């Protein structure tokens, strides 16, 4: 039985979230707090398995409460918010930086057309995150050149095998802080474009982009249809659209049916990269539930492209990268820091080869 704490300043919303969670027989709500300070104290005294955390609250907001909990009595935290205001969304991602694992939309009321989907999203996220036994965070630090030999048995990175005209990244559950680490290490002068599909609740991708801009200093955008890819820029798939790349160096957005139940889909992105860039792409599959992108990563590896999967120890959920490893789809299995270092070296070597 998963024991949950609900934190929200609205009594009505606390009861609504309680109803949604306890509709699943595997979840028991053991407490409800109306502000972040009470939540910090409750967690210290009762040690719930998971916390659902609002952002805007009196006495202590959700960002500060998350930081305090992670410093004193770490437990999995899911940010649950209804606000799309820029400052509030930014606070939500700051809470993720402080250690929260996911962000979801507050469930709509009973009778609303969106109730079933938003309630399911909350319940599924709570059940998955409650299984995370160790909260892992990775500081954003940059080392410009990977070493020839890696620690802990990680294989040597052969930068000379890479033909890197594009970096394609797919991520799901637990992805935002990992993306922050990887992107922060790339630097503003990366000579190739980066395209990213991050599975995230509808309405939050723009907030994710704003947060990553502030924390990495990179040029990061939501992709536009037919937009030309520029070196050093990072493009995220927008809400409810597949994103692909074309051989003319432009982006393709599509409303084609979901793949693996998802739109945007990592599989769609990787398949387009295979068609448009062939071996001239480095593809990366990060933490996340499910199998999105794993088969396409295998196809890329089979034609000679460099492929990378995040390692199990640093993954919040080892579904997507784990499936890639099972399929022998990854040329390398690395931590987020080493992924960043490898991408910098691959891109730099490809540029030196082109200049020569």
Q: Which residues are catalytically annotated? A: 172, 199, 292
Residue 165 CA to residue 249 CA, distance in Å, equals: 10
Instruction: Determine phi and psi for 89, rounding to 5 degrees.
Output: -65, -40
Among candidates 97, 49, 38, 109, which has minimal Cα distance to 74? Answer: 49
DSSP 161: G
Tokens of 229: 């890819």
Buried b / exposed e along 150-171 (16+ C-beta atoms within 10 A): beeeeeebebeebbbbbbbbbb
Q: What angle do CA 345, 143, 94 make, to 5 degrees?
A: 110
Strand pairing category for 194-198 and 102-105: unpaired
DSSP 81: E
- 281: part of which helix (H) or strand (E)? none
Residue 294 CA to residue 292 CA, distance in Å, equals: 6
Strand pairing category for 306-310 and 332-334: parallel
Tokens of 132: 């995370």
End-to-end alpha carbon distance in the chain: 61
Residue with tokens 């939501």: 222
Q: What angle do CA 24, 118, 205 make, to 5 degrees?
A: 135
Q: What is the DSSP secondary-structure string of 216-250?
A: H--EEEE--TTPBP-TTEEEEPPTT-EEEE-TTSB
Instruction: Determine phi and psi for 171, rounding to 5 degrees.
Output: -150, 155
């Amino acid at each position: 039985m998963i024991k949950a704490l609900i934190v929200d300043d609205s009594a009505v919303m606390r009861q609504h979230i309680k109803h949604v969670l306890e509709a699943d027989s595997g979840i028991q709500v053991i407490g409800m707090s109306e502000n972040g300070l009470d939540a910090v104290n409750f967690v210290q005294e009762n040690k719930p398995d998971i916390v659902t955390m609002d952002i805007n609250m009196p006495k202590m907001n959700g960002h500060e409460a998350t930081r305090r909990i992670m410093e004193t009595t770490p437990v999995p935290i899911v940010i649950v918010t209804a606000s799309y205001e820029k400052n509030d969304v930014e606070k939500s991602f700051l809470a993720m930086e402080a250690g929260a694992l996911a962000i979801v939309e507050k469930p709509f009321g009973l009778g609303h057309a969106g109730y079933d989907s938003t309630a399911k999203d909350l319940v599924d996220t709570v059940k998955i995150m409650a299984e995370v036994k160790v909260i892992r965070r990775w500081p954003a630090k940059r080392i410009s050149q990977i070493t020839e030999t890696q620690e802990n048995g990680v294989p040597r990175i052969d930068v000379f095998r890479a033909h890197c005209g594009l970096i394609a990244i797919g991520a799901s559950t637990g992805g935002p802080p990992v993306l922050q680490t990887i992107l922060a290490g790339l630097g503003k002068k990366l000579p190739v474009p980066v395209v990213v599909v991050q599975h995230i609740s509808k309405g939050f991708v723009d907030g994710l982009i704003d947060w990553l801009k502030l924390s990495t200093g990179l040029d990061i955008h939501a992709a536009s249809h037919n937009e030309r890819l520029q070196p050093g820029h990072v493009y995220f798939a927008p809400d409810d659209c597949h994103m692909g790349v074309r051989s003319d160096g432009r982006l393709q957005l599509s409303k084609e049916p979901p793949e693996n139940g998802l739109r945007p889909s990592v599989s769609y992105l990787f398949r387009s990269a295979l068609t448009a860039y062939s071996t001239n792409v480095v593809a990366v599959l990060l933490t996340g539930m499910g199998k999105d992108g794993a088969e396409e990563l295998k196809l890329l590896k089979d034609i000679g492209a460099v492929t990378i999967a995040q390692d199990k120890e640093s993954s919040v959920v080892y579904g997507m990268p784990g499936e890639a490893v099972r399929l022998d789809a990854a040329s390398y299995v690395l931590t987020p820091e080493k992924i960043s270092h490898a991408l910098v070296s691959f891109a730099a070597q490809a540029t030196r080869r082109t200049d020569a």
